[in-house]
Structures are given as structure tokens and as C-alpha cells.
Amino acid sequence: MASPSRSPADVARSLGRRARSQARQQARDFSWRRETFVLPREEARVAAREWFSRFPKAAYMTEVESWRELSDGRIEFTMRRLPTAD
């Protein structure tokens, strides 16, 4: 049995869906890696320095994404980096 003919618009929609699907997959592969810590101030500084040593800013775009001081004096902070260096 012959398959029904597809119009150019059908082909374009199909290719567009495929391209969007591949783009979403690539975005998931390159998504940021995040880790949140809650530590006393000095330990928080040490942990952040270790992250910058393990994942240099120039290669992994490592940064302290957010931080705040909690009522008990501890620091809550989130480190962010790329999954791999180029």
C-alpha cells in the first residue's frame, strides 16, 4: 500500500520538530552544574576556594551564583559551573 503524499509544509513541520528536539537535548547536555552548601563562614570560604581550584573560572565559568547569611551565622551559597571545559 502506498503511503500518502506529504506536502512541503508537512515536511517542514516534521524537520522543525526534530531540530527543536535536538536543541533541547544539547541544552540538557550543556546545562550548569550547581551545588548548594550551608557552612560556617570560614568553612564556606574554604569550600568556595576548593571549587575554584578544581574547576578554574576561565575553563568552567565557575562562580558563586548566590549566597546569604542565615540567622545562626552560617552561610548558604550555591556554586555554579559548566559540566566540562572546552
CATH assignment at residue 70: 3.30.30
| Beta-bridge partner residues of 58 | none
The residue written with cell numbers 506529504 in the block is 6
The mean of the pLDDT values for the chain is: 88
Residue 42: inside a domain, yes or no? yes
Residue 39: inside a domain, yes or no? yes
Residues of the chain with pLDDT > 70, as a percent, come to 87
**Whether the predicted pLDDT of 24 surpasses 80:** no
Question: What's the average model confidence in pLDDT over 28-48?
Answer: 90
| Residue 22: count of CB within 10 angstroms of its CB | 10
Cα–Cα distance measured from residue 58 to residue 60, given in angstroms and rounded to the nearest whole number: 6
Residue 76: inside a domain, yes or no? yes
Overall domain count for the chain: 1
Residue 74: inside a domain, yes or no? yes
Is the whole-model pTM more than 0.75? no
Residue 10: inside a domain, yes or no? no
The pLDDT value recorded for residue 19 is 81
User: Where in the sequence is the domain holding 79, given as residue range(s)?
Assistant: 32-86
| Beta-bridge partner residues of 81 | 33
